[in-house]
């Protein structure tokens, strides 16, 4: 049978090396496949051939191009898995069809040279197909697109991309569960150990984790699982030596107890969704605080059909472009009446619609005969899947934006209005599986009272929009939300985090009166928002705002904010390849300072790490990131980033408007180190040293608050982290959200300790976490000695109005009583009783 040659081109500029010279036994010994390596001089990786992208789970340093002649593994650097994705920016999505020469990813070569054993980049033929390399480049410099090597494969096998065997194709003779013990998961070297353990055995083994499958003899397939340290993986073996094969895996992998394995089914059956009975309480995550009473308005908006092709590829492309332009026109028109967060979301959707890669991927599908609708849906679903695969909750929540523009374009293709206008009763509480941003913006806000969704995240665009519109919103309340019948009476408590279904009439009437009373109070509060917040007995409370973007400052001032108690500077550092320089930071800080018109601006230094990863920031792999290099800890191991930020802050004018706030402080060493650096920078510039403050976010800093208060000018308490570290509950864990309450007496005692330390030293103590925006917490906080509340901008008027109704002496008695209670629920009950008696 004749052979058909295929050519691979160089994916990156550099010098070609034989695999034997790569300082890694997996590649040097050919365990991952045959090929060559390139010692790179460039920082952009391109496709060596046409094919389909397969990403390695959440890893960014390596990927596979599935080609007609096999899988081509591209692995940038050696042991770069330890970088945890830092320094790598993906330009493709899982499942995306690419052409030779197309950009796949960018990487920071300097970072790799400093942090990895070698920057050598293997390009290996790793598939299981009967192919061989017939001619290869070696010992010379190449540019992207230059010949790299030729592959010969039998004609009968060419042109077909292999599909891995599924569990249904195997006879499940034996199965066992194993734990992955490798620190960085199942990457190249441990995958090679697993494959080597099966050498010489007559058996086929399929590994399964999180619904993904891989042949245990394929290093690349196992890497593609993206399986991390500690994950449980199922091995299913068939063949004459199936038992021996699984025995052999109990070397590189850790065998789990058989009794545990047999006691739990591998695939959990979907739980039935029960219709909530009257009085049912559905708990969820608070996306936007508030309280509402109304009628259920289930959003019934089925996915638009993709429709058949109405012409050839050229005609279908024209239909698609016309539909995209129609949606752009709609969004631009909608944007003329929006501002702030709502306008930002619409601008983000317009940017997605203009993304050339999305249209390019759709065009590939059109060329394969797909209709305009199918091509667009395929492209958007591929992009959404890639975001979820990044294992970054913040990025995964952006998938809703992709699904939103998918839906709008499909509606336009179907001849429907871009956005459907749902029929809603007055005081509607909209219920949906996942409410998309454009759906919310298209609803009649005069009839809308609140939102509750079965899915979604607390940092999604839906959450941002709801907060900006003053709408109470709960997300992730579970599938039972979908089963609530239309017009069912509801109470949406987005302060305690639950939806009450068809409550007793007396309860419904009580809360309805409370909501009406609040509405009247809101009118009064907004009218007096620019006035100071002073308690009945003369205690002044500064009501500041938390800001996370430049454009939020002016609306916050209009809402009555006395200043900014927390500027989250992460918005400047995320979603980019390199950190912003001093000039860019100064420009942004100065714009915010100007918008605040001389009011205090508290700038928190970069709070990276944990749940706020920065792609180019080199941090080691951590088994528990929440207890690792977070906040100031990460800044201190990257002093150049901190120095640049401090230099920008001291240049903001007028002098004295800015305060510097340090996140995740543990003890005095942290403060003294930054104090020395800040003083030196200010003296170098010939300006006054800005006030320096610390965040109390850990029990350690709270207990040492008396020491910290002696060496700083102010204290700000971060209740979100303080509560999670004090109560040992992950604040991002959906199953613990209802129990993680910062009004727990243990947390309150630490807040009180910090407040007392500040009072004794004569410095201001404030709180900038979510607890400051919690109306039930405000009297307790004032009673503990807190004199600065930094809150969500839209709540500034309400918090100011609440403060004016309080008496600080009475609040002190309330706080003293709260400290003696057993849990947060008792504290909240106490505050409600006290408010009724006091008011």
Catalytic residues: 461, 768
Least Cα distance to 793 among 333, 225, 288 occurs for 288
Instruction: Give, as one character, the DSSP assignment of residue 771.
Output: G
C-beta pairs of 733-741 under 8 Å, 24+ apart in sequence: 734/285, 734/476, 737/283, 737/284, 737/285, 737/286, 737/497, 738/283, 738/497, 738/498, 741/824, 741/825, 741/828
What is the rounded distance in angstroms from the CA atom of residue 51 to the CA atom of residue 71? 9
**CB 364, CB 97: distance < 8 Å:** yes
What is the rounded distance in angstroms from the CA atom of residue 542 to the CA atom of residue 597? 16
The radius of gyration of the chain's CA atoms, rounded to the nearest angstrom, is 29
The contacts of residue 257 (CB under 8 Å, 6+ apart) are: none
- Cα 416 to Cα 129, 303, 334, 362: the distances in Å are 47, 12, 17, 21
What is the rounded distance in angstroms from the CA atom of residue 437 to the CA atom of residue 550? 21
What is the rounded distance in angstroms from the CA atom of residue 31 to the CA atom of residue 34? 8
Q: What is the DSSP string of 205-268?
A: EEEEETTEEEETT-HHHHHHT-PPTT-EEEEEEESTTHHHHHHHHTTTSEEPPHHHHHHS-SSP
The contacts of residue 554 (CB under 8 Å, 6+ apart) are: 595
**CB 235, CB 215: distance < 8 Å:** no
Q: Specify the 3-state DSSP secondary structure of 457.
A: coil
- Cα 495 to Cα 9, 368, 532, 775: the distances in Å are 58, 51, 25, 9
What is the rounded distance in angstroms from the CA atom of residue 14 to the CA atom of residue 664? 42
Q: Which residues of 677-715 are buried (b: 16+ CB within 10 A; e: fewer)?
A: bbeebbeeeeeebbbbbbbbbbeebbebbeebbeebbbb
Helix (H) or strand (E) holding 589: helix 582-595
The contacts of residue 160 (CB under 8 Å, 6+ apart) are: 68
**CB 725, CB 699: distance < 8 Å:** yes
What is the rounded distance in angstroms from the CA atom of residue 470 to the CA atom of residue 464? 10
What is the rounded distance in angstroms from the CA atom of residue 830 to the CA atom of residue 810? 13
What is the rounded distance in angstroms from the CA atom of residue 540 to the CA atom of residue 232? 56
Residue 707 has phi, psi (to 5 degrees) of -70, -45
> Alpha helix (H) ranges present in 418-574?
437-441, 461-469, 505-527, 553-558, 570-573
What is the rounded distance in angstroms from the CA atom of residue 483 to the CA atom of residue 473? 18
Helix (H) or strand (E) holding 681: helix 668-685
The bridge status of strand 174-179 relative to strand 254-255 is: antiparallel
Least Cα distance to 523 among 470, 562, 472, 467 occurs for 470
What is the rounded distance in angstroms from the CA atom of residue 49 to the CA atom of residue 530? 63
**CB 11, CB 47: distance < 8 Å:** yes
Q: How far is CA 170 from the centre of its chain?
A: 37
Q: How many CA atoms lie within 13 A of 30 on its CB side?
A: 5
The size of the chain, in residues, is 839
């Amino acid at each position: 049978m004749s052979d058909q040659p295929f050519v691979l081109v160089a994916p990156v500029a550099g010098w070609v090396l034989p695999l034997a010279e790569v300082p890694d036994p997996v590649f040097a010994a050919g365990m991952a496949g045959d090929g060559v390596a390139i010692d790179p001089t460039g920082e952009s990786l391109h496709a060596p051939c046409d094919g389909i992208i397969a990403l390695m789970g959440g890893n960014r340093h390596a990927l596979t191009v599935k080609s007609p002649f096999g899988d081509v593994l591209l692995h940038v650097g050696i042991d770069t898995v330890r970088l945890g994705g830092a320094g790598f920016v993906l330009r493709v999505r899982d499942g995306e069809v690419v052409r030779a020469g197309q950009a796949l990813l960018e990487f920071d070569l300097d970072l790799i040279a400093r942090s990895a054993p070698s920057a050598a980049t293997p390009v290996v033929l790793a598939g299981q197909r009967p192919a061989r390399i017939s001619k290869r480049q070696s010992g010379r410099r190449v540019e992207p697109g230059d010949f790299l090597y030729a592959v010969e494969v039998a004609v009968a096998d060419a042109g077909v991309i292999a599909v891995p065997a599924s569990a249904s194709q195997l006879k499940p003779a034996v199965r066992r569960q194993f734990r992955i013990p490798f620190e960085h998961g199942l990457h190249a070297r441990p995958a090679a150990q697993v494959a080597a353990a099966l050498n010489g055995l007559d058996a086929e083994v399929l590994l399964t984790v999180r619904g993904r499958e891989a042949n245990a003899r394929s290093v690349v397939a196992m890497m593609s699982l993206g399986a991390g340290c500690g994950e449980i993986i199922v091995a299913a073996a068939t063949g004459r030596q199936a038992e021996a094969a699984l025995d052999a895996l109990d070397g590189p992998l850790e065998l789990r107890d058989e009794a545990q394995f047999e006691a739990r089914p591998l695939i959990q059956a979907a739980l039935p969704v029960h219709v909530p009975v009257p009085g049912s309480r559905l708990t969820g995550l608070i996306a936007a605080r508030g309280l509402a009473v109304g009628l259920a308005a289930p959003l019934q908006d089925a996915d638009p059909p993709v429709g058949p092709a109405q012409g050839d590829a050229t005609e279908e492309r024209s239909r698609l472009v016309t539909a995209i332009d129609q949606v752009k026109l709609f969004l631009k028109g909608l944007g003329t009446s929006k501002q702030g967060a709502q306008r930002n979301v619409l601008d983000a959707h317009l940017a997605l619609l203009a993304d050339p890669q999305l249209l390019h991927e759709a065009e590939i599908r059109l060329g394969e005969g797909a209709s305009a609708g199918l091509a667009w849906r395929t492209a958007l679903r591929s992009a959404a899947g890639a975001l979820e695969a990044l294992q970054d909750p913040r990025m995964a929540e952006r998938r809703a934006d992709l699904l939103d523009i998918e839906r709008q374009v499909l509606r336009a293709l179907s001849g429907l209005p871009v956005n459907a206008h749902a029929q809603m009763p007055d005081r509607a509480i909209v219920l949906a599986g996942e409410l998309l941003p454009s759906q919310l913006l298209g609803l009649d806000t005069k009839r809308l009272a609140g939102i509750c969704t079965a899915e979604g995240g607390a940092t999604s665009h839906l959450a941002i929009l709801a907060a900006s519109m003053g709408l109470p919103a709960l997300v992730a309340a579970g599938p039972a939300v979908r089963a609530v019948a239309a017009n069912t009476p509801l109470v949406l408590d987005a302060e305690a985090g639950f939806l009450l279904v068809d409550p007793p009439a007396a309860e419904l009437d009580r809360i309805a009166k409370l909501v009406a009373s609040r509405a009247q109070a809101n009118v009064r509060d907004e009218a007096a928002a620019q006035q100071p917040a002073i308690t009945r007995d003369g205690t002044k409370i500064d009501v500041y705002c938390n800001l996370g973007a430049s454009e939020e400052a002016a609306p916050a001032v209009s809402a009555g904010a006395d200043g900014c108690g927390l500027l989250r500077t992460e918005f400047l550092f995320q979603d980019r390849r390199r950190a912003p320089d001093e000039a860019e930071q100064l420009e942004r800080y100065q714009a915010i300072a100007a918008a605040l018109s001389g009011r205090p601006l508290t700038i928190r230094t970069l709070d990276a790490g944990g749940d706020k990863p920065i792609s180019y920031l080199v941090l080691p792999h951590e088994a528990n990131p929440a207890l690792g290099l977070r906040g100031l800890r990460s800044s201190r191991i990257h002093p150049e980033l901190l120095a640049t930020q401090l230099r920008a802050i001291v240049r903001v004018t007028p002098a004295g408007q800015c305060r510097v706030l340090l996140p995740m402080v543990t003890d005095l060493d942290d403060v003294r180190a930054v104090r020395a650096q800040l003083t030196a920078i200010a003296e170098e510039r010939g300006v006054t040293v800005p006030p320096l403050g610390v965040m109390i976010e850990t029990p350690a800093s709270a207990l040492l608050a008396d020491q910290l208060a002696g060496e700083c000018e102010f204290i700000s308490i971060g209740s979100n982290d303080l509560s999670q570290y004090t109560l040992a509950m992950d604040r991002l864990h959906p199953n613990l959200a209802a129990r993680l309450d910062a009004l727990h007496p243990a947390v309150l005692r630490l807040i009180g300790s910090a407040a007392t330390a500040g009072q004794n030293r004569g410095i201001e103590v404030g709180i900038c976490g979510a607890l400051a925006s919690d109306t039930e917490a405000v009297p307790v906080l004032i009673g503990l000695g807190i004199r600065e509340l930094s809150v969500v901008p839209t709540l500034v008027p309400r918090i100011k109005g609440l403060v004016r109704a309080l008496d600080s002496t009475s609040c002190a008695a309330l706080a003293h009583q709260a400290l003696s209670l057993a849990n947060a629920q008792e504290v909240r009950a106490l505050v409600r009783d006290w408010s009724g008696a006091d008011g």
